[in-house]
Amino acid sequence: MACVSGQKSQTPCALGMASEAVSGEPVLPVKARFCVKCKKHLPVACFLSKNGVYDDTLCNQHEPERSGLRYCRGCEDFVALALFPKGPKQFACRKHMNLYGGVKKSKKKQMENPDTRRRTQQWHRCYTDGKKFKLSLPRMGQAAIEVEIRKVDQKGTGKYAVMPVDVKLVMSSQNVAVVTLDQRIELWKMVDAGNLDEYARVITAIQSSYK
């Protein structure tokens, strides 16, 4: 049943609001959700739409307004979906992205952490190298790359990268060697010159030197 203001029958939504009015303080049910339009917590029952599907962000009081629209915190109203940036669902249109867009701000804050920045750069180099070799996506995430590099660079200086030993196989923990950034530049010069045999000889020697 939809949660409608002024309805005589006491729906679960109305009971939740009544308890808040009597006590003078917000009284949250055990199971409640936050409605971004009402800007308050309401019982879960208030988020059940007419078709029986629960909405995580808007109570069913706003259901007629939702068709093709999304609530923008900056506009304080529902606006067309085309006005929102592509990517993760956010409640800030392009105009208010800098003020209310949490995803971009959160990513920038994460990159201020030197460890996070280093791991991201290491993975990006791995991804870029694999793309240049026309390989499938690396079978290594940031954590796996960090493990391999830490075997050589215990201090986490960020001056190392991983490159494929066999350039015909996808990059994985079994098919990478840890190289310095300077060595990576020299290895790429060999690849660009078409000297893959020399590349294989040098990177194998580098890999053996760390064992």
Q: Which of 80, 77, 18 is nearest to 46 (CA)?
A: 18
**Which pLDDT score is estimated for 15?**
46
Residue-wise pLDDT for 73-104, tens only, equals 788 777 888 888 887 777 788 888 777 765 55
Mean pLDDT for the stretch of residues 130-141? 87
Q: Which of 205, 168, 160, 210 is nearest to 185 (CA)?
A: 160
Residue-wise pLDDT for 191-211, tens only, equals 999 999 999 999 999 999 987
**Which pLDDT score is estimated for 14?**
46
pTM attached to this predicted model: 0.51
What is the DSSP code (8-state) at residue 38?
Answer: T
Bridge-based pairing of strands 77-80 and 160-164 is unpaired
For residues 195 and 136, give the distance between their C-alpha atoms in angstroms, rounded to a whole number: 22
Residue-wise pLDDT for 159-188, tens only, equals 999 999 999 999 999 999 999 999 999 999
Place of tokens 């208010």: 96
What is the DSSP code (8-state) at residue 181?
Answer: H
Helix%, strand%, coil% for the chain, nearest 5: 45, 15, 40
Q: Is the pLDDT of residue 29 over 90?
A: no
**Which pLDDT score is estimated for 138?**
82
Q: Collect all residues with Cβ–Cβ distance below 8 Å to 204 and sequence separation of at least 6.
A: 165, 177
What share of the chain in percent tops pLDDT 90? Answer: 39
Residue-wise pLDDT for 97-125, tens only, equals 777 765 555 566 667 788 989 999 999 99
Work out the burial of residue 5: count CB atoms within 10 Å of its CB; fewer than 13 is exposed, 13-18 middle, 19 or more buried. exposed
